[in-house]
Amino acid sequence: MNNTGTPNWNAIAPSAFPWEQEALDFIRSRFPTHEPYRAWSNFEFIADDGSLNEVDLLIFTPQGFFLVEIKSSPGVLAGDSYTWTWQHGGHSKVVDNPVFLANRKAKKLVSLLQRQRAFEKLRVPFIEPLIFCSAENLQSQLQGNARFHVCLRDQTNKPGIMAALNRRDCPGLSEKPRGEFNRPMGKAISRALEQIGIKPSQRSRRVGDYELQSVIDEGPGYQDFLGKHIALKDTFRRIRVYLVQAETNAEQRVMIQRAAEREFRLLQVLEHRGVLRAMEFTNHELGPAIIFQHFPSVVRLDHYLIQQKDRITDDLRLSLMRQIAETISFAHGKHVVHRNLSPRAILVVHPER
């Protein structure tokens, strides 16, 4: 599908968000139209591990092969190599540095491309992540390694996303790319993407009565999505999908199904205010899924500690520790052990209170 008027720019689907589309238009209007330049926007692919991955923009140029993640929040951006803080209009939001997620997507896509017929005799070039912070007048206070692979808009004497794509002028990019970047390679990538069967980003994927929105969290063997009820527009759930890998045989699929069912049954007995309630078990094309309750204002504990670091009193610290200890004690009393207890696995439901 190409409805952009640019022959080497493939818009697999239009963006559902005006700010994201504006960022794509910014790049497209400056993008060379000759070979070997090629671009694909707004598509998704299912990786070998069974995970669903959305791609804002994939670009092939003589200077490299790039997976571009678009972030359009305005205001002031600060942080370090691991977490970012966006500040705008008196509010702040803490998120994980998106470079890590973009890099994981890039590696999954390389692995998938390499298995296609188009690359039987070729080697897929290295895909490098780039984060395009597209909001105009954004003030970036990122320093040192936190600036790696992060681009703003190009301005006079201030290289941005186009400088990165055309000249590799971006902190964190090596002087030379890894791989071949010519017309035959560009054509091979196009064929391999067709063989994969990349699809338009389907934000309307459904699990039961819920549409899958963005990925909230992911780890070995699972992805957590925000789910929006198809009829009750103000009703949201957290949906954990247990991933089934592409090469999984029937026996292994049954094992994954039974493990997910067993986890749901265990969660059913944990009726405690400190435990996220498992509400329903169902199946999805990606694998079995558990539907959890969700609080729109929820913040991960590790993000909360950064966001509220100047307001956390000793009494609050003790209260948090007491609540965590009581919840763990309750779970242990039910003979349930948490396998991955960490600040990112603990949710602060009402961070403002």
Q: What is the pLDDT of residues 287-297, one digit of tens each?
A: 899 999 999 88
Instruction: For the domain made up of 206-293, give the CATH fold.
Output: Phosphorylase Kinase; domain 1 (3.30.200)
Confidence of residue 194 (pLDDT cuts 50, 70, 90): very high
Write the CA distances from 68 to 10, 40, 73, 115, integer angstroms.
Answer: 14, 10, 16, 22
Per 3-state DSSP, the chain is made up of helix, strand and coil in percentages (nearest 5) of 30, 30, 40
User: Is the peptide bond prior to 36 cis by the omega test (within 30 degrees of 0)?
Assistant: yes
Q: Average pLDDT in the 262-268 region?
A: 90
Whether the pLDDT of residue 184 is over 90: the answer is yes
Distances (CA, A) of 204 to 66, 223, 239, 328: 27, 16, 14, 36
Tens of pLDDT, residues 58-89:
999 999 999 999 999 999 999 999 999 999 98
Amino acid at the residue 335: H
Which residues of the chain form CATH 3.30.200.20? Answer: 206-293
**Cβ atoms 45, 55 nearer than 8 A:** yes
Burial track 104-121 (b if 16+ CB lie within 10 A, e otherwise): ebbebbbebbeebebbee
Is the separation of the CB atoms in 338 and 331 below 8 Å? yes
> Residues with Cβ < 8 Å from 293, sequence gap 6 or more?
237, 238, 276, 277, 279
Q: What is the pTM of this model?
A: 0.89
2 pLDDT more than 80: no
